[in-house]
Amino acid sequence: MNQELMTLDFWQDTVIYEDKTLPTGTLACDALNVSTDTLARMNEQCDKINLLLGQLNAAQDASALFPMVREAALTMLDILSVTPPFPYMDIPKHRERIQTVFTAENAQKYVEFAIKATTNSLPFEEVPMYADAMLLQRYTAVFGHLAYSLGEYQKAMLDFAEKTDGNEADRTAEGFAKLFGTCFPPEFSITEGNAWMAASNNSIQYVSALRPGYDVPMLVKRMHFLTFVGMFRTDLFEGLCVGHAPKKCRICGKWFLTTNARHTKYCGGYAPGDKLHRTCRQIGNLKGRTQRELADDHPLKQIYEKRLNTINRYIKRGTLDAELAKAMKKLAKDKMLRAISDVAYARGDYETEMEQDALQSEAEKKI
């Protein structure tokens, strides 16, 4: 039976989902942004789909529920197709499967399969005969619980995400591990029903697999899940292990994923209500330029500060003439200010020209 809908392959700092390679934590981060309005629209379809799930679990005739349930599943897929992270799914493939397997005949076959399985009267060679029926039950179970599953995920993880968002001092794997330990202390037991650490809804195997776009196989950790809440939670935690974590955009308020320790404030999505269709990052660059230029952690300023420290150290040692040092400091400041206002220079010669030997040589020529 196909498992792509709820399967993740983890390799180094990436996750593979439905043949798409993403930074680990991408799916989990996007899931934090699903709105309450979208959850409500999903739940309308969940209620219809759960009628079928109840009939299947009770081994009762569900033929009267078609085609209503099929239409509900397709409507759910339409909602998912425009709700990140679900567009990473192969939507056309799942739509075709739903149209194929959501039939009264497959519902009846699943009831037959379930009865044989529970009474140990199902020969192994007959299992493939029930593939479509099992797929029907799989979609029904996943879609029927989807709104609830997403709600539980957000309920458990939004508070933790807010804490990672405020963890400006140390947005590294080590920093997130320390924060994780304060939010989820080790004395919590995974057997006491903690939704954030449930161990009963996934399985793990290690397989040699080809990553999309590569010809050389890699050893990946493949995880199969029964619910999206388990899948997203795992993606979030695996991301934290490699220093990836959610960050809330200061412009639009949506969560986006950071993959390094830089103090990024804005996402790359379009800024809401901006008539010029600029991204939040572009708007933030304009709004916060002055503050960023004055910030101590500005990367261009850090290069300047490092050079000043070196010059002062040479002065104390008596290995640098005072007049030459003064000229070097002025040159360094001029170059830093130019780099802040000239992106091409900042990305080009700035760092090279700010090296000690290069700066001293240029200052000597000016003197």
* Rounded distance between C-alpha atoms, residue 173 and residue 243, angstroms: 4
Neighbours of 237 (CB within 10 A): 19
Q: Which residue has the higher pLDDT, 267 or 284?
A: 267
- With a cut of 90, say whether residue 210 has pLDDT above it: no
The per-residue pLDDT of the chain, averaged, comes to: 87
In tens, the pLDDT along 65-114 reads 988 999 999 999 999 999 999 999 999 999 999 999 999 999 999 988 88
Query: For residue 288, what pLDDT band results from cuts at 50, 70 and 90?
Result: low
For residue 36, give Cα distances in angstroms to 249, 270, 336: 19, 21, 46
Query: For residue 1, what pLDDT band results from cuts at 50, 70 and 90?
Result: very low
Identify the pLDDT of residue 242: 94
pTM (two decimals):
0.73
- With a cut of 70, say whether residue 129 has pLDDT above it: yes
Identify the pLDDT of residue 139: 94
Query: For residue 268, what pLDDT band results from cuts at 50, 70 and 90?
Result: confident
Identify the pLDDT of residue 345: 83
Q: Which of 281, 285, 283, 267 is nearest to 26 (CA)?
A: 267
Concatenate the DSSP letters of all residues of 44-70 into one string. HHHHHHHHHHHHHHTT---GGGTTHHH
* Rounded distance between C-alpha atoms, residue 135 and residue 102, angstroms: 9
Percent of the chain with pLDDT over 90: 51
* Rounded distance between C-alpha atoms, residue 228 and residue 159, angstroms: 19
186-190, 209-213, 221-225, 284-288: lowest mean pLDDT where?
Answer: 186-190
Q: Which residue has the higher pLDDT, 142 or 191?
A: 142
Phi, psi angle pair for 257, to nearest 5°: -95, 130
Q: What would the mean pLDDT of 34-60 be, rounded to a whole number?
A: 94
Identify the pLDDT of residue 191: 52
Identify the pLDDT of residue 169: 66
- With a cut of 80, say whether residue 297 has pLDDT above it: no
Residues 6+ apart with CB under 8 A from 64: none
Identify the pLDDT of residue 188: 53
In tens, the pLDDT along 13-42 reads 999 999 999 999 999 999 999 999 999 999
In tens, the pLDDT along 166-209 reads 876 678 889 898 888 888 766 655 555 454 555 456 788 999 99
Torsion sign over Cα 227, 228, 231, 233: negative
Residues 6+ apart with CB under 8 A from 37: none
71-75, 241-245, 287-291: lowest mean pLDDT where?
Answer: 287-291
- With a cut of 80, say whether residue 220 has pLDDT above it: yes
350, 300 Cβ separation under 8 angstroms: yes
Identify the pLDDT of residue 192: 52
- With a cut of 70, say whether residue 319 has pLDDT above it: yes
Q: In what order do the strands lie in the sheet with 202-210?
A: 20-23, 14-17, 7-11, 217-225, 202-210
Q: Is 54 exposed, middle or buried (0-12, 13-18, 19+ CB in 10 A)?
A: middle
